[in-house]
Chain A
Amino acid sequence: MILVIKKIDEDKLREFKAEAVRRGLTYSKAIEEAIDLWLSQRSNIRTESQMNNLTYRKLKDKLIKKYFGKYVVIANGELIGVYNNIDEVSNKLKTLNVKHAIVAKIGEEPIKGELTWLGGSMRLRTA
């Protein structure tokens, strides 16, 4: 298969080609490896999400007792901190090098019941 990519950053491409040569790979093989790596990172995000949710569930009762009304951040499966408002949360997130984090306002009730999406899954198609 022939792949044409437009508007790619020239410096990045030059570096990529040089690294492929250093590793003794053809460009196509190097691109395949890069695609594999990118897709595997995507599945890691899911795992990170599951890990963070598990931590949240474990800590939830304690958090409600101690930090009602505050915001918590959970990342890497750990409680990162407790914050007074969303701006403080935002400042903390800027310092974290993670793909996924949980942000929760402790004590806030989840939405109960089903919401509506009237047009969900409906789309006109040509014959």
Chain B
Amino acid sequence: MAGRIYEAKNCIKYGKSILSDIPLLELNLYNLKGEKFPGKLLIPIDTGFEGSIMLSNEDYEFFQIAELPEEYWRTYRTLAGTVIMRVSYAIVEVNNIKFQTYVETPRFGVGTRLIGREVLNKLTIILDGKNKLVCLAD
């Protein structure tokens, strides 16, 4: 298979952690009213999360203006058991490209910020672990 050369753009530094630093993605989120979620969002990349973008309960309230009915909420199998997630429509902007996605938060529990494979699979991302940089490519 022929190799490919990717042009790295918009690189950002990994976030700090105790043992291994965390690859982060910078993005903007909008609710379905078109309102931008306030503040800069640097969200950890989690390839182990099959969903889209997980948020804390508090962040998620901003997106509840377009929530999916309960029957569309998602169930995840985790190492600690099953977790049900509420799901809302949202718009994500990465690398100056906007597309429709979903945001999720645990029905029970506070949640956290993560980007899962449903969004990651729409992007070309370079994880430069040696230099602790996450870059985007076209």
Contacts and interface: CB of A to CB of B under 8 A. Distances in A.
Contacts, number: 105
Interface stretch (A9-17, A23-31, A112-120): A112-120
B138 interface: no
Contacts of A98: 65
Interface stretch (B6-14, B73-81, B120-128, B129-137): B73-81
A121 B46 CA distance: 13
Interface string B9-45: 0000000011100000000000011100000000000
Interface string A50-77: 0011001100000000000000000000
A89 interface: yes
A125 B17 CA distance: 10
Given A93-B65, A99-B64, A114 B75 contact: yes
Interface size class for chain B?
20 to 34
Interface residues of A, number: 36
Contacts of B34: 90, 94
A117 B32 contact: no
Contacts of A126: 18
B69 A56 contact: yes
B64 A115 contact: no
B48 A89 contact: no
Nearest to B106: A120
B96 interface: no
Those 7 A-B pairs whose CB atoms lie nearest each other, nearest first: A120-B78, A118-B48, A121-B80, A117-B76, A115-B50, A103-B66, A114-B77
